[in-house]
């Protein structure tokens, strides 16, 4: 009987093991006497896979169709239970439990749970509260619908497209570049799943053609930051309760969308908005970001299964990888679209919720990342994007009691200020915030007399001038022995002078423009210092022009003084400073001590003993150390990235070590046979 005394009737015919087809019809009347129709077709009892289709008509006559695939029962069992799940809002469907017919019987069994008082929903018998159940209208429904351990094997790095003349990808990218260049993007805030437009606008421009607007983005203020934090906290419980594989599915889908139909969109946005060449955009915005999405899932799966504690009989010990309590504040730079995508999503994968502030000069690609994640199924409120004045946004986020972590890539000065802010108000937080930051670099190439000359020259040019030297890993200080310098000087200068620079839409260009007027002024100031500060001079390059775009020619400076400011300070532009040394051991000491940074570095030598000496003497001089290769281009899954000293916390983006920073471990012990007497044996009298 129902809650109102109306009888529900059901009958079922089941296809038996001999292949005799039977159809089932369930006629259910609810408390108001509204007839609802359910039909179930059950596959052969010997089939490994059974297909049941349930058609449900609610009281409004709206047909709802669900298909359920049910595997074989455990050996010796004849019971199968089908959970149809919770109806959509406004639906009157209940739950159906279908039992297997007893031996020799042709009748099935359908139990339809009675609705609770005042509810029209059926109720799953015996379900208790746990992380995989939710309550709605007084009824329980299962959110997992799975008994499985999802496996995700080690992924492969996303293949890099070549964009060769005549190739399909070259034509597709050029078409997308033309399309986006002719559009005007209107980039909103993303708060709680809503796209908010404040009307406080800022232009998105091409650095290489700064009079050309690509659109506008809306800026938020302190109130929007608070609103975004509250939206994140409201989404936290449901997101954390979602089984890990369901969270992972969002980012795996995002990776496949990015590698497929979204590839040219994100690449073109990166080229236009950040002045990257097609190759630099490809290895960053498409390949590295897809790698982050996939490898983070793989590393997370390994953490879940690989580090569980011992469980001596009769105990069962487990480690629970809980998300942090509160929100993570992700602050991302302009220079890598992949980092902009990884910093908010890596914590989110582990069940955290995020406030994301992108750089103002990368808002076009940030817009496409956010839309990509939404298409991939990211629930509302999990990642909330607020652009706007950095100080205003940071002041609210960093002082909020629910701040649980900071995921940052940017300048050393900004990160140090964030650390001071958190430290000075440490008693305000609910938990100690996790501070993870990758900051500046003054990255080196140290050459030995035994180095391969052509390989060294190629590494200096690529490592120093790709993406206009605007990489935290870019080679900016070079140490070459006197015996080698005379053999490579002219060829190195000729190679630098041969570099084409201009609009990245012209695929013949190796370099584009620096990011904005502020960067242009800072970098050209360092070039002027090469002449005005004694101990250095410009060997080639040095010209600049900001008439149409923020263009600076690739510049090589020769420094007689190994501690000249151009050898010690981060410039973040297409300026490489070279020092000629006389003594190998003194060169090792200079590399290790003349800069506060320790991000990337490289040694070039054929002599194996020399390589070993460099690895030992420079052990703390670089978090990413390269032998006979340029110090840029770390690949997810191959070279986990990060440095120490003034270069950050070295938490290695693109690795399991980084993911652990976004968990708060809980150890769980269960005793299957607990003691029943407090007395120990040693208390017994002799």
Give the mean model confidence (pLDDT) for residues 273-293.
98
Q: What is the pLDDT of residue 145?
A: 65
- Label residue 228 by pLDDT band (50, 70, 90): very high
Please, which residues bridge with residue 653 across strands?
Answer: 641
Q: Can you tell me the mean pLDDT for 627-641?
A: 97
Nearest CA-CA partner of 358 in 377, 384, 395: 384
The answer to which of 58-72, 221-235, 295-309, 508-522 has the lowest mean pLDDT is 58-72
- Please tell me which residue, 171 or 75, carries the higher pLDDT value: 171
- Termini Cα distance of the chain: 68
Q: Angle at CA 410, nearest 5°, toward 405 and 416?
A: 65
What is the spatial distance between Cα 651 and Cα 182, in angstroms, rounded to a whole number?
41
Pairwise CA distance, residues 545 & 311, whole Å? 68
Number of H helices, E strands in the chain: 17, 31
* Residue 580: count of CB within 10 angstroms of its CB: 19
pLDDT at 98 over 60: no
User: Strand 327-331's sheet: what is its strand order?
Assistant: 194-196, 189-191, 383-385, 353-357, 327-331, 403-409, 434-438
How confident is the model at residue 178, as a pLDDT? 98
Given the structure tokens 């001089």, which residue do they identify? 621
pLDDT digits (tens, 9 = 90+) for 560-570: 999 999 999 99
Q: What is the mean pLDDT of the chain?
A: 85
Give the Cα separation of 439 and 413 in Å (integer): 9
List, for residues 363-389, the tens digit of each pLDDT value. Answer: 999 999 999 999 999 999 999 999 999
pLDDT of residue 88: 38
How many other CB atoms sit within 10 Å of the CB of residue 163?
A: 20
Closest by CA to 7, choosing from 37, 42, 35, is 35
Report the alpha-carbon distance of residue 109 to residue 295 in Å, rounded.
46
| Spatial contact of 271 and 177, defined as CB atoms under 8 Å apart | yes
- Per cent of the chain over pLDDT 90 is 77
| d(C-alpha 91, C-alpha 93), whole Å | 6
Half-sphere exposure of 649 (CA within 13 A, CB side): 17
pLDDT on residue 151? 81
pLDDT at 9 over 50: no
Nearest to 458 by CA among 214, 629, 252: 629
Instruction: Give the pairing type, strands 327-331 and 403-409.
Output: parallel
Residue 662 has pLDDT above 60, yes or no: yes
Task: Yes or no: say if 16 and 30 are a contact pair by the CB < 8 Å rule.
Answer: no
130 against 681, higher pLDDT: 681
Q: How many residues does the chain have?
A: 686
Q: Are 381 and 353 in contact (CB under 8 A)?
A: yes
Instruction: Check whether 77 has a pLDDT greater than 50.
Output: no
pLDDT at residue 115, as a whole number: 40
Task: Kindly tell me the sign of the dihedral angle through the C-alpha atoms of 284, 289, 294, 300.
Answer: positive
Three-state secondary-structure class, residue 238: helix
Give the pLDDT confidence score for residue 108 in this predicted structure: 40
Residue 249 has what pLDDT? Answer: 98
String of DSSP letters for 616-677 = HHTTTT-SEEEESS-S----TTTS-B--EETTB----BSSHHHHHTTEEEEEEEEESS--S-
For position 559, what pLDDT does the model report?
A: 97
Lowest model confidence (mean pLDDT) among 366-375, 527-536, 619-628, 671-680: 527-536
Q: pTM, whole model, 2 decimals? A: 0.80
Tell me what pLDDT residue 149 has.
79
Would the pLDDT of 234 be above 70?
Answer: yes
* 671 pLDDT above the threshold of 70: yes
Instruction: Please report where in the chains the tokens 């437009």 appear, as a residue.
Output: 197
Report the range of poorest mean pLDDT among 93-97, 390-394, 515-519.
93-97
Burial 419-441 (b: 16+ CB within 10 A, else e): beebeeeeeebeeebbbbbbbbb
For 114-141, how does the pLDDT look when each residue is reduced to its tens digit (9 = 90+)?
443 333 343 333 343 344 444 444 444 4
Query: Could you give phi then psi for residue 548, rounded to 5 degrees?
Result: -100, -45
Query: Apex CA 69: angle with CA 65 and CA 71, to 5°?
Result: 160
**Closest C-alpha among 420, 441, 423, 395 to residue 598:** 441
Q: What is the 3-state secondary structure (H, E, C) of 299-325?
A: HHHHHHHHCCCCCCCCEEEEEEEEECC
pLDDT above 70: percentage of residues in the chain: 79
Active site residues: 438, 472
Helices 363-375, 337-349: axis angle to 10 degrees equals: 40
The single residue listed with the structure tokens 């299957």 is 672
Q: Give the whole-angstrom CA distance, residue 47 versus residue 232.
A: 46
Express each pLDDT in 450-508 by its tens digit.
999 999 999 999 999 999 999 999 999 999 999 999 999 999 999 999 999 999 999 99
**pLDDT value for 404:** 98
Q: Give residue 144's pLDDT.
A: 57
């Amino acid at each position: 009987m129902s809650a109102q005394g109306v009888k529900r009737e059901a009958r079922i015919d089941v296809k038996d093991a001999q292949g005799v087809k039977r159809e089932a019809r369930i006629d259910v009347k609810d408390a108001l006497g509204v007839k609802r129709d359910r039909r179930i077709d059950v596959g052969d009892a010997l089939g490994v896979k059974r297909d049941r289709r349930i058609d449900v008509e609610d009281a409004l006559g709206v047909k709802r169709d669900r298909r359920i695939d049910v595997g074989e029962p455990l050996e010796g069992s004849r019971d199968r239970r089908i959970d149809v799940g919770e109806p959509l809002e406004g639906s009157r469907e209940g739950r159906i439990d279908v039992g297997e017919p007893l031996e020799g019987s042709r009748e099935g069994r359908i139990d339809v749970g009675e609705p609770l008082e005042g509810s029209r929903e059926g109720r799953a018998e015996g379900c208790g509260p746990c992380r995989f159940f939710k309550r709605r209208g007084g009824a329980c429904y299962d959110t997992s619908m799975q008994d499985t351990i999802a496996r995700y094997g080690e992924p492969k790095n996303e293949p890099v497209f070549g964009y060769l003349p005549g190739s399909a990808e070259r034509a597709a990218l050029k078409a997308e570049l033309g399309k986006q260049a002719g559009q005007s993007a209107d980039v909103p805030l993303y708060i709680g799943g809503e796209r908010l437009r404040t009307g406080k606008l800022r232009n998105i421009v091409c650095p290489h053609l700064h009079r050309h607007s690509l659109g506008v983005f809306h800026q938020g203020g302190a109130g929007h930051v608070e609103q975004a934090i509250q939206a994140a906290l409201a989404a936290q419980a449901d997101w954390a309760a979602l089984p890990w594989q369901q969270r992972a599915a969002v980012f795996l889908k995002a990776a496949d969308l990015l590698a497929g139909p979204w590839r040219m969109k994100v690449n073109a946005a990166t080229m236009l908005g950040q002045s990257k060449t097609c190759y630099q955009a490809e290895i960053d915005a498409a390949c590295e970001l897809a790698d982050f999405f996939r490898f983070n899932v793989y590393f997370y799966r390994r953490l879940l299964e690989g580090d569980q504690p011992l469980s001596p009989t009769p105990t069962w010990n487990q480690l629970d990888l809980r998300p942090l309590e509160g929100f993570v504040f992700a602050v991302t730079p302009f220079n890598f679209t992949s980092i902009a995508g990884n910093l908010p999503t890596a914590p989110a994968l582990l069940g955290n919720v995020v406030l994301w502030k992108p750089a103002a000069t990368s808002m076009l690609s940030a817009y496409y990342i956010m839309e990509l994640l939404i298409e991939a199924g990211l629930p509302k409120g999990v990642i909330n994007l607020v652009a706007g004045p950095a100080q205003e946004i940071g002041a609210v986020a960093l002082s909020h009691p629910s701040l649980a972590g900071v995921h940052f890539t940017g300048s050393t000065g900004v990160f140090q200020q964030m650390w001071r802010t958190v430290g000075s108000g440490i008693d305000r937080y609910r938990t100690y915030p996790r501070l993870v930051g990758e900051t500046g670099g003054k990255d080196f190439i140290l050459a030995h007399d035994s180095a391969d000359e052509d390989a060294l020259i190629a590494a200096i040019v690529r490592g120093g001038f790709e993406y206009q030297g605007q990489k935290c890993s870019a080679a900016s200080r070079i140490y070459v022995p006197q015996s080698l310098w005379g053999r490579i000087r002219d060829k190195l200068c000729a190679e630098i002078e041969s570099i084409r620079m201009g609009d990245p839409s012209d695929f013949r260009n190796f370099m584009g423009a620096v990011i904005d007027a502020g960067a242009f002024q800072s970098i050209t100031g360092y070039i002027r210092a090469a002449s005005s500060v004694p101990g250095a001079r410009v060997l080639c390059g040095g010209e600049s022009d900001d008439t149409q775009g923020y263009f600076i020619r690739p510049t090589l400076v020769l420094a007689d003084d190994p501690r000249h400011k151009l050898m010690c300070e981060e410039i973040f532009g297409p300026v490489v400073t070279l020092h000629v040394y006389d003594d190998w051991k003194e060169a090792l000491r200079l590399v290790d001590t003349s800069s506060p940074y320790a991000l990337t570095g490289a040694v070039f030598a054929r002599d194996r003993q020399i390589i070993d000496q460099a690895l030992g003497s420079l052990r703390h001089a670089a978090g990413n150390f390269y032998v006979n290769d340029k110090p840029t281009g770390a690949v997810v899954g191959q070279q986990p990235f990060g440095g120490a000293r003034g270069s950050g916390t070295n938490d290695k983006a693109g690795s399991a070590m980084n993911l652990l920073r976004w968990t708060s471990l809980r150890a769980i012990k269960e005793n299957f046979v607990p003691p029943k007497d407090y007395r120990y044996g040693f208390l017994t009298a002799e």
